[in-house]
Copies of this chain bind each other. A is one copy, B any other.
């Protein structure tokens, strides 16, 4: 089993943090996004969508899309569950992880991809080219602000995004906050103290450096 990934890719980092939390060891194969390696025929044979990460199984099958990769790793490595335990717990973790992704993670990516001069004509990751839309940058930044406020509210009620336990919802959320702070220059506002408390706790976990 090999994970094709990039050290600078936030999507890849979601998988790396998951692996570190679960103590799963597998080969990490670097894909050089700067050199456009994801568009080579060799990489497209693994993932025709030209995105990272991709998990390649020993039988040669490719699994792409972060939630699909994490679900596979969870199913094949059940100890230390990061997707909840009961049917209800799993559903709630799925719900909160998805909200963190669609409202937070996707907004940060959209703001960065529609703003960066180096991504002109590449406003959406994947096999197709799309022009940037400058008006999307402001709207996405507004979405990130709202995501911060909503997440802060959630974290006044529970210690972790998915509830009482650390889960994939925390992984997606912390990678989002980090990427928004560094690439998006949009750090956690000072008054959101529950979000800050949660972030500091998650950032202190050894997996954070993965």
Contact = CB atoms under 8 A, between A and B. Distances in A.
B65 A87 contact: no
In the complex, the count of this chain's copies comes to 2
A142 interface: yes
B98 A67 contact: yes
A99 interface: yes
Interface stretch (A5-13, A36-44, A131-139): A131-139
B91 A71 contact: yes
Given A131-B139, A139-B131, A94 B65 contact: yes
A88 B72 contact: yes
Interface stretch (A20-28, A56-64, A180-188, A194-202): A56-64
Interface string A33-54: 0000000000000000100000
A119 interface: no
Contacts of A67: 94, 98
A148 to B, nearest CB: 12
Contacts of A64: 95
Given A143-B124, A143-B130, A90 B65 contact: no
Size category of the binding interface on chain A? 35 or more
A65 B98 contact: yes
Contacts of A90: 71-72, 75
Judged by DSSP, the binding face of A is helix
Contact of A72 (B91, B126, B135): B91
Q: Looking at A71, A88, A91, A128, which has the most chain B CB atoms within 10 Å of its CB?
A: A91
A139 B94 CA distance: 29
A146 interface: yes
A69 interface: yes
Contacts of A136: 133, 136
A143 B128 contact: yes
Given A130-B139, A139-B131, A143-B128, A68 B94 contact: yes
